[in-house]
Structure 1
Amino acid sequence: MSSRAKSKQANQVVRAQLAREDRKRRLRIVMLIAGAVIVVAGFIGWGVWSSQKSTKATTPVNATAGGVGLPVGGAGGKAKVELYVDFMCPACKAFEQAAGPTLNEMMAAGRAEVILHPVAILDDASTTNYSTRASAAAGCASDGGKLNEYATALYAQQPPEGGDGLPDDQLIQIGRDVGLSDTFAQCVTGGTYLTWVPKVTAAASERGLRGTPTAFVNDKQIESTVEALTAAVNGAVG
């Protein structure tokens, strides 16, 4: 074979090799693009699924506008008192025991409307997601018109952090003790409002919640003390 023929053959081999490399490169690009499309589609799908899941959350029948608060009492009061609490939170129990009688007097006198936002930020403090279960049970108690009494009773029997939390049958018994019916028991047993509690918690986070208890009077955050609460309500009522 002449040198010219050998050179031509070598060039053909090189061109064939370059063509193969080019095809491989284009294939890699196509695969990368396809992979990116799949990832994006996955995120979009997850977002749609997440949104649909949140919209399917069952809301207590008496929930306030936006569906993330429960009216305790005092409808029409000049001062709107909003309380963000976690039923596993010892500080919430202490605040309820200190401020509860004052709030009851304010509601009875028509001075304050009280709205409860039961959140679940301490689920990790029990082995059974007690915060979520107790807040869901509070939603059931609200349906039965006994939220104030039920919340007080929950605090009175608050379980220690790090344990199992109260079982559902005990949450139901507490409800029966304050006058709630079989409808309440079925609500708790069926987990009716378990999907609602994350919605309340997410809304609290968006409002800037950093811990519990947190109190607002007419949309202004105050210190969670009886003194601050009284001063804020008196200022709003005049």
Structure 2
Amino acid sequence: METETTETAIPAGDVELAADLVTPTEGAVGVVLFAHGSGSSRRSPRNVAVARVLHRHALATVLVDLLTPEENRVDQETAELRFDIARLAARLVSAIDWLRRSPDTAALPVGLFGASTGAAAALVAAAERPEHVPAVVSRGGRADLAGPALSRVRAATLLLVGGRDEQVIQFNQQARDALGGEVELRIIPDATHLFPEPGALEQVSDQAADWFAERLPSFGAAP
């Protein structure tokens, strides 16, 4: 499916976040906002690969840098800001609100795709905006770091974890038991944390696309 890419900036409090909005030229049935993982960015090759599969299912995507360039430089030295779930989640909420204001996306239900610590931020944001976010997918995510917000999540949540990522499986089992809405934990056999094994990321992409494609169009635009 042909797409159109727009580089933009999303206002979030006193900062602006660089973002890439990709929309199918024949129209979208939903939009998926990506929350990247620890030490990554909107240009993450893994998230870009997942986004390309979503486009084939008539889903628009937004890949956004949740940290400013200055914050990213600090984080590269300290690795602290990537674990600031409250900051990341607040910026995702700002991005959701921006999507609701933008003419090209205002009518579209929003899905959230989070990786690593970005998954926790996505779940907190979903809890804050249940009227706009019907579905969340976590890839190798630290969903457990969403803490008390997990019980307030109403979005249908898919937790994807590599079969050899044993500690993260345990974290996701804890999150699954705490989540308040529909939830599935699926294990990608023989995959490690970043899903570099042949075919592993393709499985993640296909399962995420199916999850969103089944849930976003039927949700419709919130009033």
Normalising by the residue count of structure 1, what TM-score does the alignment of the two structures yield?
0.30
Larger RCO (CA within 8 A; separation ≥ 6): 1
Instruction: Select the structure of larger CA radius of gyration.
Output: 1
Higher helix content, 1 or 2: 1
Normalising by the residue count of structure 2, what TM-score does the alignment of the two structures yield?
0.32
